Amino acid sequence: MDELGRKTVEEARRAEKFPLILILENIRSAYNVGSAFRTADAFQVEAIYLTGYTAFPPHKEIRKTALGAEDSVPWRHFPDGVSAIERARSAGYQILAVEQTTNSIFLQSLGSKLTERTALVFGNEVTGVEPATLSAADGCIEIPQGGMKHSLNVATALGVVVWEFVRSQSGNRELLQ
């Protein structure tokens, strides 16, 4: 473990964060929530907002997939997605829902459209982001996909989108020091 240069929980909490909040709305699977925590830890995301019936720590299934990341990533629970958006917006965050809509733009097209502080909303594994939450967002982005499903597991989609955000916002600084 020493050779990997892993941070302690305290070091991870104190590390510089990317100005990114993940809003998870009505995620059915606590395993997907745990995976989101693990991804957020890996990419030094600022916080996770859990909304609606999304499971939150302490939870056995979250712990199983998060592997302790639920202790290093700050999180809060909100009654619904709109409440979480209001909190993020009041702190100066741009809100983007990750959802396939008629007005969504492809993830790789974001580039200069991103503000320094962004909150990304990920919705339910079956029904997606709630209509009221979509209306409250500043816009929608989607991952371009071929195949017949045009659908990714929420934990997979979260990983793809977070990586693209971190990659595009890193500029000349060393990624994830």
Handedness of CA 94, 138, 158, 47 (dihedral sign): positive
| 167 CB neighbour count, 10 Å cutoff | 10
Query: What confidence tier does 168 reach under pLDDT thresholds 50, 70, 90?
Result: confident
Query: What confidence tier does 2 reach under pLDDT thresholds 50, 70, 90?
Result: low
| Percent of the chain residues past pLDDT 70, beyond the cut | 90
Q: What is the CATH number of domain 2-169?
A: 3.40.1280.10
> What dihedral do alpha carbons 64, 156, 78, 18 form, nearest 10°?
100
φ, ψ of residue 56 in degrees (nearest 5) = -140, 155
Query: What confidence tier does 172 reach under pLDDT thresholds 50, 70, 90?
Result: very low
Give the per-residue pLDDT at 176.
Answer: 52
Give the per-residue pLDDT at 151.
Answer: 86
Give the per-residue pLDDT at 160.
Answer: 95
- The rounded mean pLDDT for the chain is 90
**Residue 15 has what DSSP assignment?**
S
Query: What confidence tier does 31 reach under pLDDT thresholds 50, 70, 90?
Result: very high
Give the per-residue pLDDT at 169.
Answer: 75
Judge contact between 24 and 80, C-beta under 8 A. no
